[in-house]
Structure 1
Amino acid sequence: MEVEVLQYFAMKLACETDCADVYQAMLTGQQDFVLFDVRSNEAFAKSHAQGAVNMPSADISERTMAKYDKVTPIVVYCWGPGCNGATKAASKLAKMGYQVKEMIGGIHYWEDFERYPVNRRVSQPQS
C-alpha cells in the first residue's frame, strides 16, 4: 500500500504545479516553461497572469502549436478549481507529445488568493 501511495503522489507532482511555484520560477528567472491561459480570448483579455500566452483549449491543434517545441514544458491554467479546461488542455497537449503540467488553482488562486501580478484590459471612459 505504501508504494502505491508514493507512486500516486509522484505522478501527481509530475502532472501538477501550483501558483506559488510558477510565480517563484518567473520571479527568480528560472522559468523553463511556457505559461498558457487556456480560457477564452474574452476571459484572457479581462485578466491573465503576467507572461501568459492565450491558447484557448478549443484552439489547440498541431497548427497552433507548431511554433512551440516539444522539449520546453508547458504549464496550463484555466479559471480555477471548478473548471476542468486546464485538465482537458493538458491531456490534449500530452497526446500531441508535449511536456505539460496543470497549474492548480488557476487564475482564481493566482489573482484572488495569491495576488500575483495580472494584466487587465483597461476600460475606456464613457463619453
Structure 2
Amino acid sequence: MDTAEQYFRAKLAFHTDVTDVHTAMESGEPGFVLVDSRGVDSWRAGRIPGAVHLPTDDIAAHAERLLPAGTPVVVYCWGPGCNGATRAAVEFARLGRPVREMLGGFEYWVREGFAVETDTGLTRRPADPLTAPPGMTCAC
C-alpha cells in the first residue's frame, strides 16, 4: 500500500460521521456506545439521544463503571472547531478501548436536522441546506 492509501484507511478506522452514527443509533443496535465528552452545562443544553455523558476529565475514573469492557466507543464534542472529542478519544485509547471520533460533533448533528434530547424532551431544528440539501444525499 502506498502512504496515501495507508493514511486514508487509518483515518476511516478512527473516524465516523454524524450520518453514519445516526443510522447506527436508529438501528437500535449500533455496535458502540456514543459518548458525549462535553461539560455538564453543554449536556443539559442538548445532547444526542442515546448518548452517555462522560466528560473528558472523568473518563479515566468512570469509564470502567459506565461502559462494558471491550465495547467500542464513539466520542463527540461540540464541532469541527473543537478538539475535545480528540482529547476524549485519547483517554479511551489509553484505557485500551476501541474508539472513534464522530466528525462534525454536536454542531453537525444539529445542522443535519437530527433530533436533540433536552431535559424537557426531544427537539429538532430544520436541516441546514449547506450540510443537508433538501431532497439530496451525498451518496458516499
Cα deviation, 1:58-93, whole Å, max 9, x if unaligned, reads 1111x3012323321000000000100000010111
Aligned residues: CA RMSD: 1.2
For structure 2, list consecutive stretches of 5 or more residues without a partner in the other structure.
Answer: 121-140
Residues in 2 aligned to 1:30 and 1:54: alpha-carbon distance in whole angstroms: 19
Say if 1:72 and 1:99, in contact at 8 Å, map to a contact too: yes
Matched, 1:121 2:110: no
1:28-47 superposed matches below 5 A: 28-47=27-46
Which residue type is aligned with residue 66 of structure 1? E
**How many residues matched?**
119
Which residue type is aligned with residue 65 of structure 1? A
Say if 1:70 and 1:97, in contact at 8 Å, map to a contact too: no
What is the aligned partner in structure 2 of residue 107 from structure 1?
A: 106
Say if 1:70 and 1:99, in contact at 8 Å, map to a contact too: no
The 3-state SS of whatever aligns with 1:91 is helix
Return structure 1 stretches of 4+ with deviation > 6 angstroms. Answer: none
Instruction: Give the TM-score taking structure 2 as reference length.
Output: 0.81
What's the offset of the Cα at 1:36? 0.4
Residues in 2 aligned to 1:4 and 1:70: alpha-carbon distance in whole angstroms: 33
Which of the pair has the greater relative contact order for Cα pairs under 8 Å at 6+ separation? 1
1:28-107 superposed matches below 5 A: 28-61=27-60, 63-67=61-65, 68-107=67-106
Instruction: Give the TM-score taking structure 1 as reference length.
Output: 0.88
